[in-house]
Amino acid sequence: MTSSETLHSLVQSGRVHRRLYTDPAIFEVEMERVFGRAWIYVGHESQVRKPGDYVRTFIGRKPVVLVRDAEGKIRVIHNQCAHRGSLVVANDKGNTDEFQCCYHGWTYHLDGRLKAVPLQHGYPRDFDPNNPKTAMVSAGRVKSYRGFVFASEATDGPSLEEFLGHMTTSFDDMIDRAPDGEIEVAGGTFKHAYEANWKLYLENLCDAAHPLFTHRSSIDAAQQQSDAVYSDGSGEIAIRQMRQNGAPYSFWESQVGIWTYPNGHSYLGDYHDDAKLVAALKDPVFRDYIAAMEVKKGKAETRRVLEVRRWNSNIYPNLSFMSQFQQLRVVHPVAVDRTVVATYNFRLKGAPEQIFRNTISFANTVNGTGSLVLTDDLEIYNRIGMGLSSEGAEWIEIGRGLQSDAPDAHGGRQGKNSTSEVYIRNMFDAWLRYMADGRAAMRAVS
């Protein structure tokens, strides 16, 4: 069913089998081999600023806790009591001195080690509270890249920097845009859910060929909107963004690129030419921001930073972020046909307050559960979930641009232009390596 040969037969040149999106057995293997081996984004260090700060999140489906321990070290521990298995941490976030299970009172240090057990005399004579088996178990490896925290359940394998490769430059781009050189998670979160496979999400975020169709209703409504009507500034950002989604195919094919890198990562070039949305275009809105940047970084460096033009950067398998408006989205697979996505925003430290307000307005526009844009993306995911169940076409076509993929200067592959599906092919190359390579496959072959 999920043998290496079978998996290889399901991923072919320019197409993949529909089972990859619908088969619960394949999903189970993905949780073990993809989410169990890759570096998985679990949060940002600014979410756990002080010792004892914690947030709940997931590695694949596994509930874990991202916590800063008493020594200030970032930890990722499994959210399970070593006694009878209860979830220990129930609040989404908070600050605490210790974690305590509500069932029999087993108490843990912030790094997951067992601290105290009521009625300890009653346990077997060889019961040892210092045995790692009595801890809230740590993730295999935990590592940050400039504040972005990843965990891998594999105790060996590529380092985080090897895993990220050239994509570290996208993280650098986000941080470089802060005049003070520091960013922090701020402004709340959205959680949206759809009834279809987790892979569809990243497959849509670098898809330049869909906005003109999928987002037609919001493009039309925004294009017909009078700018004379009152806006406090937030609606203006939203409407301008929706209009930009109406860029013609000729623009996507001539002005915008797509780049992909090993391990399934990719980024889409920026497609914006609205001076209120692109700092490099020097609209008065950005004057104070650019001034703050130049004070801290100098004119030349400011120009260099603002001329980096990337839209979404995808880190396979569970992260997508975007430096221009400081957005970040985390994919949480729930079941083969259910996915939850959590989205976050960053504040650029040292930037004028208006920049963060624009970030919030932008988040509402593209990530909001009630947004005029995202609602049609969610509809697409749901429809793919329903459409695949018809068992019509057996293969999913991902061959667009296949003939014109070309090597790029940093060890990756780039599409001829942004409408290429090269980034989906690139994700499935990584998928196949995680799923079917000999060592990784040993445990789950059936």
Partner 1 sequence: MARKPKRPPRSAAIRARRPIARRPRSTPPPVGGLDLHRCEQFLIHEARLLDEGKFDEWLALFAPDAWYWVPSEPDQPDPHETVSLIYDDRRLLETRVRRLASPRMYSQEPRSRTSRIVGNVTIEANDRNACTVRSKFVMIEYRREQQRIFAGTALHRLVRSHGRVMIAWKRVDLVNCDAPLDGITIPF
Say whether residue 262 binds partner 1 (CB under 8 A): no
**Judged by CB under 8 A, does residue 387 bind partner 1?**
no
Task: Give the sign of the dihedral formed by CA 41, CA 47, CA 51, CA 56.
Answer: negative
The torsion angle over the Cα atoms of residues 320, 267, 271 and 367, rounded to 10 degrees, is: -10
Q: How far is the CB of 442 from partner 1 (least distance, A)?
A: 35
HSE, CB side, 13 Å, CA atoms: give it for residue 9.
Answer: 7
Q: Does 378 bind partner 1 (CB under 8 A)?
A: yes
Is 246 near partner 1 (CB under 8 A)?
Answer: no
Decide if 418 contacts 272 (C-beta within 8 A): no
By CB under 8 A, which span of 22-30, 127-135, 356-364, 433-441 interacts with partner 1?
356-364
User: 86, 96, 225, 255: which one contacts partner 1 (CB under 8 A)?
Assistant: 225
Residue 27 CA to residue 231 CA, distance in Å, equals: 46
Nearest residue (CB) to partner 1, 188 versus 411: 188
Should residue 241 be labelled a site residue for partner 1 when binding is judged by CB under 8 A? no
Q: How many angstroms separate the CA atoms of 407 and 416, rounded? A: 10
Assess 129 for contact with partner 1 (CB under 8 A): no
Report the alpha-carbon distance of residue 417 to residue 251 in Å, rounded: 10
196 binds partner 1 (CB under 8 A): no
64 and 71 Cβ atoms separated by less than 8 Å = no
Contact segment (CB under 8 A) with partner 1 among 24-32, 73-81, 150-158, 214-222 equals 214-222
> Applying CB under 8 A, does 360 fall inside the site for partner 1?
yes
The closest of 364, 321, 323 to 234, measured between CA atoms, is: 364
Q: Under rule CB under 8 A, how many of the chain's residues touch partner 1? A: 54
* Residue of 382, 387, 416, 432 interacting with partner 1 (CB under 8 A): 382
- Establish if 190 lies at the interface with partner 1 (CB under 8 A): yes
Site for partner 1 in 313-352 (CB under 8 A): 340, 343, 345
Beta bridge partners of 339: 194, 333
Q: Whole-angstrom Cα distance, residue 151 to residue 132?
A: 19
Beta bridge partners of residue 152, listed in sequence order:
141
Is residue 16 near partner 1 by the rule CB under 8 A? Answer: no
Position 63 contacts partner 1 (CB under 8 A): no
E strand or H helix that includes residue 243: helix 234-244
Q: How far is CA 66 from CA 53, 292, 322, 402, in A?
A: 8, 33, 23, 40
Stretch that binds partner 1, among 95-103, 238-246, 287-295, 438-446 (CB under 8 A): 238-246
Q: Is 232 in the site for partner 1 (CB under 8 A)?
A: yes
101 contacts partner 1 (rule: CB under 8 A): no
Is 200 among the residues that bind partner 1 (CB under 8 A)?
no
Closest to 424 (Cα-Cα) out of 200, 251, 250, 177:
200
Cβ closer to partner 1: 86 or 234?
A: 234
165, 235, 387, 399: which one binds partner 1 (CB under 8 A): 235
How far apart are the C-alpha atoms of 220 and 145, rounded to whole Å? 41
**Residues binding partner 1 (CB under 8 A):** 186-195, 214, 216-218, 220-222, 224-227, 229-236, 238-239, 242, 340, 343, 345, 356-357, 360-361, 363-364, 367-370, 372, 374-376, 378-380, 382-383
